[in-house]
Amino acid sequence: MDENDNNDYSRFENQETIKPLSFDTNNSSADNFVPLANATTNDIKNKDSNFVFFFGVGESGKSVILSAILYYLSSQAGVLRPKLGTPNSKEAQGLLSDFFENIRQGVLPNRTTRDQVTRLDLIFEPNNRSKKVPSINLTFLETSGENHKDIGRGGTYHSSIDAYLNANIPLTFIIVTSYDKAHQEDTLINEFLDELERKGKNLKSINVILVVSKWDKSGRSDVESEEQLENFITERLPRTNNRINSYELNKTYFTIGSLENAGEGERIRLLNLAPSEVLSNWLYESITGVPLDYEGTFWEKIKFGF
């Protein structure tokens, strides 16, 4: 990337995060504001990555799932670091530090800012020594749940989000709905799937997974059986379930662990990384075609055995 590209990207990033600002002028007492700049597909730099897009309304658990995946990848599965040379590497390092420190202290992540795409450009290096298990570029995209509500009833996304959905980049979609609110979100999830198809995404050929978050609210930290999860989704999300089954998409559950009240909100009392492991393994294998726990070739098994 040349210097001009870096400058262009920096200008785009600065524009993207501008918030409406009220100010007074000497000539008028009327309120004015600085509007959020429109983003276009051509503004997206560093497309050489595997982009992961989170969908879900506010408080569905998107930020918690993202932080848990990042924590698992970096503490159990390998090394996760900001991709050098990307304009947001400093921001990525700051966000990673916040995510990891918060989880260590049992603090749940803050809600995402509306009209802003939180982008993390990272490199994941698996600790599996087989050459069949390569390092990969991962770009996580997270947005406010309030923005996702915008597409309801034929609405449209903010341009900062639309730019990624319209871009010619490899996208993986993690659709999040919570155990206690799933029955309210069946229609919106289907409207999102409709939106993807309108943008030319073939649901039969892209990576999509439905995640029922906050499963601990069921009274269990895991599912009793696969049938229990299937029955829940069939009952609470009938249209979504039918579509997922028709396209042979994936589905799972998620919990961050045991929570306890802590005055102003909930805190993590006991961290459960098992659901994060399932999601991380699915994400890696869906992108590379190789499982993270691949045992290696015959010669690699002999070599690693010594």
Q: What is the pLDDT of residues 214-261, one digit of tens each?
A: 999 999 989 999 999 999 999 999 999 999 999 999 999 999 999 888
Q: What are phi and psi of 198, to 5 degrees?
A: -65, -30
CA distance 99 to 91: 12
Could you report the per-residue pLDDT of 93-143, keeping only the tens digit for each?
777 888 888 888 899 887 777 877 878 999 999 999 899 999 999 999 988
Q: Please name the amino acid found at residue 183.
A: H
With CA atoms as reference, report the closest residue to 71 among 110, 109, 92, 99.
Answer: 99
- The residue type at 73: L
Beta-carbon-side half-sphere exposure of residue 248 (alpha carbons within 13 Å): 2
pTM for the whole thing? Answer: 0.81
pLDDT digits (tens, 9 = 90+) for 171-196: 999 999 999 999 999 999 999 999 99
Is 56:175 a contact under the CB 8 Å cutoff?
A: yes
Q: Which CATH code fits 44-292?
A: 3.40.50.300
Helices 186-198 & 238-247 angle (0-180, nearest 10)? 40
The interaxial angle of helices 274-288 and 62-72, nearest 10 deg, is 80
Non-local CB neighbours of 72 within 8 Å, separated by 6+ positions: 273, 276, 277, 280
